[in-house]
Structure 1
Amino acid sequence: MEHADLDALIDQAGVSHPDDELALRRLKKRRLLLRDRIARLEAEIEPPEPA
C-alpha cells in the first residue's frame, strides 16, 4: 500500500513540480528501498526451491 502511495506521489510531483529534481529523486529512492524490503520479506516467507 505504501509503495502504491509513493508511486502516486512521484507521478504527482512530476506533473506539479517538474523542476524539483531533488524531491523526486528522494521519493524514488524511498520507493526503491521499500520495494527491496518487500522482496526480502517475500523471500523469507517463500524461500526458493532447491534445484
Structure 2
Amino acid sequence: LVLGFAFFFCYVMSSGSYDYFQFVQQWPPTNCKFRKCSKPRPLQRFTIHGLW
C-alpha cells in the first residue's frame, strides 16, 4: 500500500503543477446514517477516501 501510494504521488507530481493536495478521510458510521449498511457495526476509525 505504501509503495503504491509512493508511485502514485510521483506520478501526480510529474503530471502537472498544483498549489495543494486534499487528503480526504471519512468516518464510516456517517455512511450508515444515510443508507443501510451491510455490516452490523461499521469501523470506528477514519478511513482514507482519496487524495485529490
Q: Which has a greater percent of strand?
A: 2
**Do both share a fold (TM > 0.5)?**
no
Q: Which has a greater percent of helix?
A: 1
> Shorter-chain-normalised TM-score: which range?
0.3 to 0.5
Alignment TM-score, normalising by the size of structure 2: 0.35
